[in-house]
Structure 1
Amino acid sequence: MQYRLLVSGDRDHFTTLDFDPNMKRLSILADYPAPFNASWVDRISSHSDIDYLVGLSEGEKVGSLYSFGINHARGSCRVTSEQPTLGAPAHFLTLRDNSALALSTYLGGSIALYPISISAENEMILTDEPRTELFPEFPYKIPGHGPNQSRQQQCHIHQILEDRRGLLYAPDLGSDRVWIIRRDALRMEVCGWLACPPGTGARHAVFSPDESVMYVIGELSHTVVAFDLSSAPANAILPIDGFAPNIIPPSIHPDHHLMLDASELCLHPTNPNVLYVSNRWSRHIAQRQPELKDVPRDLPTGDDIAIILLRDDGKKVKTLKHVRTNIDVIRGMRLSDDGKYAAVVGQEGGGIEIYNITGKAGDIWSLQAGLSEVTKAIGLVAFMNSTVDRQGEARANIVNSDFLLHTPHFVPMLDNHNKKTQNVGIEHREDNISPIDSADPFDAENIAYGPSGFKGLIAAPYIFGVSFLASLAGFSFGYDQGVISIILTMPQFHNVFPETAPSSPTYGFSTGFMTGMLELGGFIGCLFYPYLADRYSRKWGLSIAVVFYTIGAILQTAANNYATLVAGRFIGGIGVGTLALGAPLYIGEVAPPNIRGSLLVLEQFSIVIGAVLAYWITYGCRGIKSEWAFRLPFLLQMPSALIVGICIHFFPFSPRWLSMKGRDEDALAALARLRRLPPTDNRVQQEWKGIIADVKLQQAIRSKMHPGVTGVKLEVAGWIDLFRQKYRKRTMVALAIPFFQQFSGINAFVYYAPIFFQALGQDTERALILSGIVNICQLIACIGTVLCLDHFGRRNLAIWGGIAMGIPHAIMAGIVGKYHSSWSSNTGVGWFGVALVYIYVLCYGFTYGPLGWTLPAEVFPSGIRATGIGAAVATNWLANTCIGFSVPQMQVSIGFGTYIFFASWCFIAAIFSYFCVPETKGLTLEQMDSAFKDGAAAEELEIRREVVKEVINGV
């Protein structure tokens, strides 16, 4: 996903910026002419295609409060109303009931309420009704100067906050108090205050998530104090004892502490036990003041961010550390709503920087991007959600705007070239439009249902249960893949099916044909499952798959002749193919965005764990003297699949499938049930609209591409589309990578590992144990899959993965060819061959293992993505079938040539990837067009705008 930022300040324009975390790039989206120089700006409402904002213009005695509208389609900005302020305005807050704005002034010390209304022209305005003003210094006048005489001669209110009870809190630097103000409509009265220690200089404050604690930063003392708000408002509420962390950076010499001004503090949005505090190091100001005679002229640049880790109750400090930035005189700090990124901005230098926040405690900051050319002015920045307006154009939607960031006006360095910002109106860029995927066109991937990762799974037990049940289908798939390798070595099995015995003249063909029938069935199953899933639902599709799977398991268990066994493998394979597609499809459509990735990884783990358990269960059964040595492992295929087929009906239908059937209200009810939230919840509503939009988009694209075509003809047309000129290169990549995935030889080792290890000089018993470790290596590689995929990118993994897999194969070909008849005297070489097998399996798991499933899902535009993925999966199964059929015969016929065969395909994969596979990680539709040089998504983007407008206006 991408993040949007808004910048304004002491200049004649507003700027929206885009931060792409995948590309680590910060760039300008558009400039809007501004009617005034703003010291603060905040979005308060949206109407039609216009965003309404309010801004402040400073003045020592009289400032101004403006309401204005930005029309993103026209790239214009127009003032709708203006009101004077008494003193220099510092901050304002939109009240929770949206009746008025609360404004504070830092010179004059007043708090005022300005009513909001809609004009006859249907515009948001600040009304001409009398405003209400409150002067905390009367009757609470400061008795003389504060400890810092130059800064504490009068009330100096920097901020206003409002709690859930409607009480206002106003930190007052001049009086070392945070005023508590009770409001009745537009009437205000002071009902108490929080008493900061003398000389604190209260500047900014933030509530704990439950509003039981308030944290206050002292600009003059460089400390954070905390107040317990659990009791009723009263005069002189004292700070929590022992809570006063000093945030002065250790790099600042004590003689220069006078030049520090603590600025803002933020609470981590998903980890309430982490506070971030900025402390601006005003070296430029100090150097310009002659009375500060001993200030060095070569002071280091860059301000610090203090990271305060709190204990669970939020009332005690656990640890404190500092992060050094490249910003001079920090005047703002803002965290994205997901807590992954922080924007830091400066008044005197450094411009704006974006940091990635990682670590369990959120205490690791790494610089991602920045724009550094600045001029000496103050502006504002806010992280925003990327969304789409009613005209289908990209719109920046400011969220959680209690803290907007002060930042300098700057002349950005874009793409490493000095380019001055100009008022050129809105710059139309298709990559501004949020991608519409299977979840949400309104950037629903960032809906805050809860934390991600393990914590998110624990916080969502219902959806975890739904997904865990569905993942048993993956377990069944993995079990069926892993059960055959040891069975093929059992004398009990050879006695019943002599065609598969090594002594049989048809051994190679019969073994390969029987094994490969599962993959052929999987190929057939993956072709017709999409029809089942769309026609009868994802749930019934899984149940039908279980029927095939169970019939196949019964036939394999009861078979007394080769033909029945082959039939059982084929029918069971149909079930395996459908389960392999059905489980991740259902999980992906019911999982919330914040843990979807984790739940899909859970499904992958289930496949690998199924294969591991199948192997070791079969290994344990081989000691049974009767035919149950192989019949029992075949029989144990059934329980997990039957649990899925029956229990899946106790859970909701996929909301996406319901929407596809025109049952939008049922989709909303199912989504609310899955999220354990009421249907009216904003997050549920947003995700629901996103699902509807995506369904309509698919229908609109198909209708546009094939007008008047329906039914089977439309399905056939979709397959033909894959090979049209504008999609041909994408289809080639999407089919080639799964092909190379299988022809690298992975399932040769999964199915026939004991045979390979015996060919390396290992005895039967040892070969069986070593074969079990192959599956464990796959499990280890599965853990690192996501890390490798996202860290190194798709293209690099495709190139270097092919090379890394080809080298072990090539070396094995050499040692098997030279030592195949003398392993007894060259046992060390044999063990080296075993190590090479494991190296190959690990390299596969980290590279082509995930690539075969990821790349096909990324390269196609929405209109043909489902068909393209189906073709890629079918290619995977077909290639898998070829490997299953051919490897036993290859081992018999060409011996070490089998390794040469696989090595050749690995190196061909690397060469193909170098010349044909572009990097696709994190690319938008338009960027994917550029990568493939085909313009395939251009038409889709136009359809997308119309669909989004229809959904917003029609839902």
Structure 2
Amino acid sequence: MADTTVTPGHFRVANKEFATIKWWQLSKMRSTYFLLFFVVLTSATNGYDGSMVNDMHNPSGSIKGLFSGIMFLGSLLALPITPYIADGLGRRWGICIGSTIMIFAVVLQSASVNFQMFIAARFFLGFGVAIAHGSAPLLITELCHPQHRAIFTTIYNTTWYVGSIIAAWLTYGTNNINSQWSWRIPSIVQALPSIMQITCVWFVPESPRWYISKGKPEQALRVLAHVHAEGDSEDELVQLEYAEIKETLAIEKEAETTGWLELFKTKGNRHRLIILVSAGLFSQWSGNGLVSYYITGVLDGIGITDPDTQLVINGVLNIWNCIIATTMCFFVDKIGRRPLFLVSTGGMMLCFIVWTICSERYNATEIKANGNAVVAMIFLYYTSYNIAWSGLLVGYTVEILPFSIRAKGMCYMFAFVDIALFFNTYVNPIALDHIGWKYYIVYCVWLAFELVFVFFFYIETRNTPLEEIAKHFDGDAALVGGGAATEKGRILESEIHEKEQKAAVSAVHEEKIG
């Protein structure tokens, strides 16, 4: 396993340490990071939608399940084409295409005059979200400075709560409007993040790794220099990064590791696939779906039935979630991914057990204090959830994948997120309606399984440059070039160099003959 020890106040690239920098003092890096926040907003659209559907009080459980479920079905159907857009046209085009589809869906949803139009709109909304979701985290992780990559990629998924907060309080404000505008106004506002992304994404540099994969190394070097060294292409860090990226991508291309089935072929890739699948499932099958999409049913079960009170609880909970999740992003490299996952999952399990006990006590006695204890446990449960699962769902999974299969690998993860959500949208409301608090026991048992699974399969990647993370999974067989090349990487580099020399000699020979 690769060494992750780094001198405090330093970061490492290609086995060489560099002193940390202050990004806010560097104008080009500062402006790029500001623009990246518009890329980060992709996740906010999902959060907005979840909270908006959550706060619709009129639909029955099955209808509300259809509102959410059809969106996840749209996402699933979009996933097979998503990597071809991100890898073929570029990360920025993927975001733009996805956002355009989402704007079309919001217009259709806001103008709906019947149930069929509304359902169709939600299908297209899910379709667009999947395409944008499949491109945005790739651009972030491939563009950021090595020192800031973990923070930015972890922040990405936490903006779910930003969208959720806006939707929760907006629906609270429109809840008393005695007309269809009570739901049309929140629906129209849902287009705002996508409009902002289409407007601003073209000011964000394209991924330097994507440029190199398309045979445009000069543009890649220019982007690395602009974002990481204030335009200095001769900077030592930039040159090391450039060499490592260029040679690693050449090795991956030589090894032909780009297909959908690549994640099944090697021990390291199967380990990656296990993490991708489990992360997708665990992020949604840990009991959080009960509150994210069906908090009204949970609160009804403990005697809190007033719509305004439910909206206030949901709004405050989302603010709390956003604060905790965003704060934890700054400790990912300090504490490490694995400890955060273990503490988070263990905390969720303990909180859910107490949550279940308090729900049973309220059901048996109808004592208000037991219901209030459930609300407290919901807040503590989400505190635990946000220690890791909110941000690292994307932050961890995107970094463990080599460039050649990064877009496709993320589709595996998002597919299992959508499968879990599609299942939950129908099972959760029906289960809550029929067996109430007893349904929580299922999650108590499942969370214990998750804790054991994370302990045995999730490995640490802190303080490791993006290309070099492959060493944690593949060891000496990792396809890594540049200054941190593995033995296999050096062999493949040599083979590539020999082929290039032969091609050059052949070209000269043909020129002489001609």
Q: Under a length normalisation based on structure 1, what TM-score does the superposition of the two structures give?
A: 0.47
What residue is the counterpart of 2:177 in the other structure?
Answer: 624
The residue type paired with residue 754 of structure 1 is T
Give the CA deviation at 1:871.
Answer: 1.5
What residue is the counterpart of 1:451 in the other structure?
Answer: 21
Q: What is the SS of the residue equivalent to 1:744?
A: coil
Give the CA deviation at 1:942.
Answer: 4.0
- Is 1:662 the counterpart of 2:215? The answer is yes
**Structure 2 residue corresponding to 1:570, chosen from 112, 123, 130:** 123
What residue is the counterpart of 2:252 in the other structure?
Answer: 698
The equivalences for 1:72-151 within 5 A come to none
Q: CA RMSD in A?
A: 3.4
The equivalences for 1:834-913 within 5 A come to 834-857=375-398, 864=405, 866-913=407-454
Tell me, yes or no, if the aligned pair for 1:548 and 1:574 is still in contact at 8 Å: yes
- Is 1:937 the counterpart of 2:448? The answer is no
Tell me, yes or no, if the aligned pair for 2:72 and 2:422 is still in contact at 8 Å: yes
**Structure 2 residue corresponding to 1:802, chosen from 322, 334, 345:** 345
Moved more, 600-609 or 548-557: 600-609
User: Structure 1 residues 788 and 744 mapped into 2: Cα distance closer, same or farther (>3 Å)?
Assistant: farther
The residue type paired with residue 441 of structure 2 is I
Tell me, yes or no, if the aligned pair for 1:611 and 1:775 is still in contact at 8 Å: yes
**Structure 2 residue corresponding to 1:782, chosen from 301, 321, 325:** 325
- Is 1:757 the counterpart of 2:293? The answer is no
User: Structure 1 residues 698 and 842 mapped into 2: Cα distance closer, same or farther (>3 Å)?
Assistant: same
User: Structure 1 residues 717 and 729 mapped into 2: Cα distance closer, same or farther (>3 Å)?
Assistant: closer
Tell me, yes or no, if the aligned pair for 1:521 and 1:572 is still in contact at 8 Å: yes
Tell me, yes or no, if the aligned pair for 1:748 and 1:884 is still in contact at 8 Å: no
Q: Under a length normalisation based on structure 2, what TM-score does the superposition of the two structures give?
A: 0.83
Describe the superposition over 1:302-353 as per-residue Cα deviations: whole angstroms up to 9, x where unpaired: xxxxxxxxxxxxxxxxxxxxxxxxxxxxxxxxxx7xx726xxxxxxxxxxxx
What residue is the counterpart of 1:586 in the other structure?
Answer: 139
Describe the superposition over 1:363-408 as per-residue Cα deviations: whole angstroms up to 9, x where unpaired: xxxxxxxxxxxxxxxxxxxxxx764xxxxxxxxxxxxxxxxxxxxx
Tell me, yes or no, if the aligned pair for 2:106 and 2:121 is still in contact at 8 Å: yes
What residue is the counterpart of 1:440 in the other structure?
Answer: none
Q: What is the SS of the residue equivalent to 2:134?
A: helix
Give the CA deviation at 1:789.
Answer: 4.1
Give the CA deviation at 1:901.
Answer: 2.0
Q: What is the SS of the residue equivalent to 2:304?
A: coil
User: Structure 1 residues 620 and 798 mapped into 2: Cα distance closer, same or farther (>3 Å)?
Assistant: same
- Is 1:928 the counterpart of 2:497? The answer is no
Give the CA deviation at 1:625.
Answer: 1.4
User: Structure 1 residues 636 and 731 mapped into 2: Cα distance closer, same or farther (>3 Å)?
Assistant: same
What residue is the counterpart of 2:50 in the other structure?
Answer: 481
Tell me, yes or no, if the aligned pair for 1:760 and 1:820 is still in contact at 8 Å: yes
What residue is the counterpart of 1:521 in the other structure?
Answer: 74
> Which fold has the larger relative contact order, with Cα–Cα distance below 8 Å and residues 6 or more apart in sequence?
2
**Structure 2 residue corresponding to 1:739, chosen from 272, 276, 281:** 281
The 2-side partners of 1:516 and 1:815 are apart by 30
What residue is the counterpart of 2:512 in the other structure?
Answer: none
Tell me, yes or no, if the aligned pair for 1:757 and 1:771 is still in contact at 8 Å: no
The equivalences for 1:645-724 within 5 A come to 645-674=198-227, 676-680=230-234, 683-702=237-256, 715-718=259-262, 721-722=263-264
- Is 1:606 the counterpart of 2:159? The answer is yes
User: Structure 1 residues 870 and 456 mapped into 2: Cα distance closer, same or farther (>3 Å)?
Assistant: farther
What residue is the counterpart of 1:766 in the other structure?
Answer: 309
The residue type paired with residue 890 of structure 1 is A
What residue is the counterpart of 1:831 in the other structure?
Answer: 372
Give the CA deviation at 1:620.
Answer: 1.0
Q: What is the SS of the residue equivalent to 2:327?
A: helix
Give the CA deviation at 1:647.
Answer: 3.0
Relative to its length, the structure with more strand (as a share) is 1
The residue type paired with residue 655 of structure 1 is P
Tell me, yes or no, if the aligned pair for 1:733 and 1:917 is still in contact at 8 Å: yes
Give the CA deviation at 1:580.
Answer: 2.5
User: Structure 1 residues 534 and 863 mapped into 2: Cα distance closer, same or farther (>3 Å)?
Assistant: closer
The 1-side partners of 2:207 and 2:279 are apart by 30
User: Structure 1 residues 650 and 853 mapped into 2: Cα distance closer, same or farther (>3 Å)?
Assistant: closer
Give the CA deviation at 1:615.
Answer: 1.2
Give the CA deviation at 1:915.
Answer: 4.2
- Is 1:471 the counterpart of 2:40? The answer is yes
Give the CA deviation at 1:557.
Answer: 0.9
User: Structure 1 residues 737 and 644 mapped into 2: Cα distance closer, same or farther (>3 Å)?
Assistant: closer
The 2-side partners of 1:593 and 1:801 are apart by 25
Describe the superposition over 1:593-631 as per-residue Cα deviations: whole angstroms up to 9, x where unpaired: 343344435534533212211211111111211101101
Tell me, yes or no, if the aligned pair for 1:482 and 1:614 is still in contact at 8 Å: yes
The equivalences for 1:182-221 within 5 A come to none
The residue type paired with residue 853 of structure 1 is V
User: Structure 1 residues 751 and 938 mapped into 2: Cα distance closer, same or farther (>3 Å)?
Assistant: closer
Tell me, yes or no, if the aligned pair for 1:697 and 1:943 is still in contact at 8 Å: no
The equivalences for 1:638-649 within 5 A come to 638-649=191-202
The equivalences for 1:476-515 within 5 A come to 476-486=45-55, 488-489=56-57, 494=58, 500=59, 507-515=60-68
The residue type paired with residue 643 of structure 1 is M
Tell me, yes or no, if the aligned pair for 1:738 and 1:873 is still in contact at 8 Å: yes
Tell me, yes or no, if the aligned pair for 1:512 and 1:889 is still in contact at 8 Å: no
The 1-side partners of 2:439 and 2:359 are apart by 10
What residue is the counterpart of 2:506 in the other structure?
Answer: none
Give the CA deviation at 1:470.
Answer: 1.9
The residue type paired with residue 806 of structure 1 is M
User: Structure 1 residues 759 and 602 mapped into 2: Cα distance closer, same or farther (>3 Å)?
Assistant: same
User: Structure 1 residues 843 and 616 mapped into 2: Cα distance closer, same or farther (>3 Å)?
Assistant: same
Give the CA deviation at 1:787.
Answer: 5.3
Give the CA deviation at 1:678.
Answer: 4.9
Tell me, yes or no, if the aligned pair for 1:798 and 1:909 is still in contact at 8 Å: no
The 2-side partners of 1:676 and 1:773 are apart by 41
User: Structure 1 residues 734 and 717 mapped into 2: Cα distance closer, same or farther (>3 Å)?
Assistant: closer
The 2-side partners of 1:600 and 1:722 are apart by 25
Give the CA deviation at 1:544.
Answer: 0.7
Tell me, yes or no, if the aligned pair for 1:672 and 1:678 is still in contact at 8 Å: yes
Tell me, yes or no, if the aligned pair for 1:722 and 1:864 is still in contact at 8 Å: no
User: Structure 1 residues 771 and 524 mapped into 2: Cα distance closer, same or farther (>3 Å)?
Assistant: same
What residue is the counterpart of 2:100 in the other structure?
Answer: 547
Tell me, yes or no, if the aligned pair for 2:155 and 2:326 is still in contact at 8 Å: no
Tell me, yes or no, if the aligned pair for 1:529 and 1:581 is still in contact at 8 Å: yes
Give the CA deviation at 1:638.
Answer: 1.1
Q: What is the SS of the residue equivalent to 1:560?
A: coil
The 1-side partners of 2:234 and 2:450 are apart by 51
User: Structure 1 residues 679 and 571 mapped into 2: Cα distance closer, same or farther (>3 Å)?
Assistant: same
Tell me, yes or no, if the aligned pair for 1:750 and 1:774 is still in contact at 8 Å: no
Aligned residues: 489
Structure 2 stretches lacking a partner, 5+ long: 481-485, 502-514
The 1-side partners of 2:231 and 2:112 are apart by 50
Moved more, 556-565 or 599-608: 599-608
**Structure 2 residue corresponding to 1:728, chosen from 259, 265, 270:** 270
Give the CA deviation at 1:807.
Answer: 2.5
The residue type paired with residue 732 of structure 1 is I
What residue is the counterpart of 2:357 in the other structure?
Answer: 814
Q: What is the SS of the residue equivalent to 2:303?
A: coil
What residue is the counterpart of 2:483 in the other structure?
Answer: none
What residue is the counterpart of 1:426 in the other structure?
Answer: none
